[in-house]
Every structure is written in C-alpha cells, then in structure tokens.
Amino acid sequence: MIAYDRFARSWDERLLADGGPDGRAAAIAHGLDERLGDSMYRHPRGPVPLRPVLLPAALAEEMRTVGLRLLDIIRRVAATRATGVFELADLVGYRRPGVCMLTEDPEWNASAFDMARPDIVVSGGVVRVVECNIMSAVAGPEQVTRIDRYFREVYGTDGPCADTSRLVVPDVMGPRRDVVRAVARARGVDRPRVAVLGWDRGTGFGSAAYFGDVVDDFVRHGVDAEFAVPNDLEADRTSLRHQGRRIDVALRMFVSADAPRADLDMTAPRDAMLAGTAITLSPEVADVYSSKKLLAWVSEAAEHMPSTDRDFLDRHLPWTRLLVDDKVTWRGASHGLVDLLLGERERFVIKPSDQHGGEGMSAGADTEPEAWAEAVERGLRDGSYVVQEFMRPDPLPVPVLRAADQSLEVARVASVFGPMLMGGRLGGILARHTDRADTTMVNAIGGGVMNTCWMTP
C-alpha cells in the first residue's frame, strides 16, 4: 500500500538496533503502555507500536475528501428515504435511550455531520470506506493526542532514530474546538462555556483525568470549559447549569444509546434542548446517521445515481446490503442473498447495523462454514444486520513489541484508518492495526491497537 521508503526503513533499523529486553525500543513500548494505561487503547494481547504510522500527505487528503463526499451522499440518500428525523430513526431501527434527544428542529440538527470518523481500509491501493461514525463520541481524538505527545517526546526532531522535523503531525483538538465555537456562534453565543460530558466520577476511562486534554485545550484557547457527568447537570427554562455555572454547549463524549447502560441521566440536557438554552453536540440524530443501514441504502441506490456518484461509490464503498432473504445483484449477476453468502463465504462480512467496536461482527474468511451459516441465520432472524463485501487491507510495515513474548520486530500489519473530520477539516487520523496481516478484524476486540498517523511530504 505505502512505499516502505528509505526514511522509514532507516528509522526502524536504528530503533531495533537497540532491541534487547532492556533496550531503547522496549523502553519506548513500555512507556507508551504506561502513558495510555487508562485509555483502553489496545487489547491485552495486542501489540505496542514503536512509532507512528507514516502516511503520504496526498493519501491523507484523499481520505478526507472521500469521507466528506460520502457523508454528503449519505445525507442525500437519507432525505429520499424519510421526511423527518423520527421516521428515519424508525426506518433504521434506532433504539432510543430512555431520555431521547431526537428532534425535528433543523437548527438543532444542523451540526449533525460536523463530527465524523469514517473507517477506511486501503485495499488494492484504493481508499475504501467500510463504516461511517457520525457523532461527537468518535473514538480517537483523546488517544491520538496522547500518543502524538508521547512520540514527540521520545523522538523529537533530532533524535538518534529519525529526523522527524519534516513530518506533519495533525492538530487533533483544534478542528473539533472550532466546530464547538461555530455552533455556539450560530446560536448567538460568542464566548461559550463548555461542559465535556464523560461518565466516570473517578479517575479512570471516561473521567475528568481521561478527558483532561480536552478541557485543557479549550481553556488554553480562551474557551471556558469543565468536565461534567450528565447526572450532575441541572436545567430550568432559563439555562443549563453545572455546579451553579451556566453551560452553553454540552460536548457528549459517549454514544447516546450507551447512556442507560452507564446510568447516565440526560434529563437536564434534554430539558435545555426543549427550552432552547443550551445545545448538546453531536445532536442525537447523528447517532441515527451512523447506522450501517444507511451504507446499505447508499450502496443499493448507487446504480440509479448520476455516473459521477455511481463511479465514486463503486470505487470507494464496498458492496453493502441489508441482510434479508431477497434477490440481489452482485458483480453484474442476480443471486439469492442467502445462497450468495453461503457459496461465497470468504468474500463477505456480517455486521450488526447499530453496534461499534467490532461487536457482533462475523467474517466469512475467519469462520467455519457451519458457524457462518448460523451467523447468517441469526442475522436474518434479528433483522438489523448488514452484509458487506470484505476488503482485505494492504499489508503495512510497522515496528511493534508483541505482547505475547515481548519480541520486537517490523511486522506486516493489517490497518484500518479513521480520519477525524471536524467541520470539513482533517483533525488527524486514527490508525488501528494488529501485529500481522492475515486478520479480518482490526480493533481492540480482535487483538489490535490504536496508533496515530504522521504525514510525510
């Protein structure tokens, strides 16, 4: 996929030259593990990356433009399927939390697409979007910020392993901060007070400590901000408040549907929405747009679109359909979908339309025929699954420490990239990779790790 050029090879050779259990490379790995110990950034058996993933700047820009164009097509296709938010939510089977913040208010929903993270694989040298997360709770900004800071400290610009001065390290926090400011200005608030909504009153994952970088970034750039758990917010007809202080923007760092499971009470943000006193980002309709059913609608509708959109989707969106017992057209021929899945098992993956993190996913290439048939039948009964043509990621060389035996090597890994699109800008790229190339599930559940991407000129 990406040329393993002399710069990267030289970096890795110098790094692994001191590759013993007490050497520099092992110390870098253990330091990263310690720095991100509270962030669930890798599976316990997943590898530890020793440096950022290196991407050509042109490829990073292509990921941005492909992601933004697909978001626009998703918006347009959704508008042809439903006349409003509640109808769209019903059509995709959105499971509304107990305190639901869906609304038909166009002003409230205007920012729904302003924070997104498509999941992209580069397969056969082509950028292909396999999922599209459209919500404020996109995983990545916090982890990438901390990984970037650590690798900057370790390598600097004149370190012994590599001269990183010409590499571009994207600003992850700035574009999201600008989205918050722009939304506030659109509501007539020039100096908003922001509550960063987490879920842990302690010091672990989802706590004030975990989201400290987010709060500090707002404050350093002149935006009053503080951490809050939704249960500690209050609202009346005049304002949303936290510990007596007015809140203009609540930046929700979790998926709305997860709030009940975490015992989070969204009553105050909902009351503020109804009173028009404070906005929650992203609006809940963004979670509806994240349903993988929309990708199936887009893929199915492609053949009826103008040639420019059709060609774009044929190249950048893998063939995706709802998992139903019906006829489909695949690669120019008509098939019964069930027969196609059973006969071409290794070419497809099955995904629940409303889960994230790889939960509930089955990959035909990793599944025995009997178990695959059971997965197909289970998806048919459930009615909320999609099937997608599997795109195998092009192998990418990354130096890692393997957790199993503490060995150090340049591994050829399977990677998924998540460009963080904030207000149309690229707020960095989250990389998730394994320590081998022959895997179909690249996430923490499947034994992977989060990493950051730095851009080469």
Closest CA to 393 of 132, 138, 126: 126
Strand duo 53-56 + 449-456: pairing:
parallel
Query: Mean pLDDT across the stretch 128-153?
Result: 93
Confidence band of 137 (pLDDT split at 50, 70, 90)? confident
- CA dist., res. 285 & res. 109, Å (int): 7
Query: In the chain, what are the domain boundaries?
Result: 6-61+158-168+397-456, 64-139+169-288, 319-389
Supply the mean pLDDT for the chain. 93
φ/ψ of residue 134, rounded to 5:
-125, 90
**Whole-number pLDDT of residue 438:** 78
Q: What digits encode the pLDDT tens for the residues 368-377?
A: 999 999 999 9
pTM of the predicted model as reported, rounded to 2 decimal places: 0.95
Q: What digits encode the pLDDT tens for the residues 286-339?
A: 999 999 999 999 999 999 999 999 999 999 999 999 999 999 999 999 999 999
Q: What digits encode the pLDDT tens for the residues 237-294?
A: 999 999 999 999 999 999 988 899 899 999 999 999 999 999 999 999 999 999 999 9
Query: Mean pLDDT across the stretch 228-233?
Result: 98
Letter for the amino acid at 430? L
| 444 pLDDT more than 70 | no
- CA dist., res. 15 & res. 183, Å (int): 45
| 2 pLDDT more than 80 | no
Q: What digits encode the pLDDT tens for the residues 86-96?
A: 999 999 999 99
DSSP letter for each residue of 63-76 = HHHHHHHHHHHHHH
Query: Is 57 in contact with 168 (CB distance < 8 Å)?
Result: yes
Letter for the amino acid at 118? P
Burial 263-299 (b: 16+ CB within 10 A, else e): ebbbebbbbbbeeebbbbbbbbbbbbbbbbbbbbbbb
Strand duo 348-352 + 385-389: pairing:
antiparallel
Closest CA to 451 of 3, 44, 48, 40: 48
DSSP letter for each residue of 290-302 = T-HHHHHHHHHHG
Q: What digits encode the pLDDT tens for the residues 385-439?
A: 999 999 999 999 999 999 889 999 999 999 999 999 999 999 999 999 988 877 7
Calculate the CA 407 to chain-centre distance.
29
Packed helices 85-92 and 292-301: angle between N→C axes, nearest 10 degrees: 90
**Whole-number pLDDT of residue 18:** 84
Q: Tell me how far CA of residue 379 lies from CA of 293, 362, 374, 390, 423, in angstroms.
A: 13, 10, 9, 17, 35
Q: 319-389 has which CATH code?
A: 3.30.1490
First-to-final CA distance of the chain: 17
Q: What digits encode the pLDDT tens for the residues 46-76?
A: 999 999 999 999 999 999 999 999 999 999 9
Confidence band of 136 (pLDDT split at 50, 70, 90)? confident
Confidence band of 442 (pLDDT split at 50, 70, 90)? confident
- CA dist., res. 274 & res. 237, Å (int): 9
Which 8-state DSSP code applies to residue 134? E
- CA dist., res. 165 & res. 246, Å (int): 43
| 158 pLDDT more than 80 | no
DSSP letter for each residue of 381-436 = HHS-EEEEE--PPPPEEEEEE-TTT--EEEEEE-EEEEEEEETTEEEEEEEEE-SS
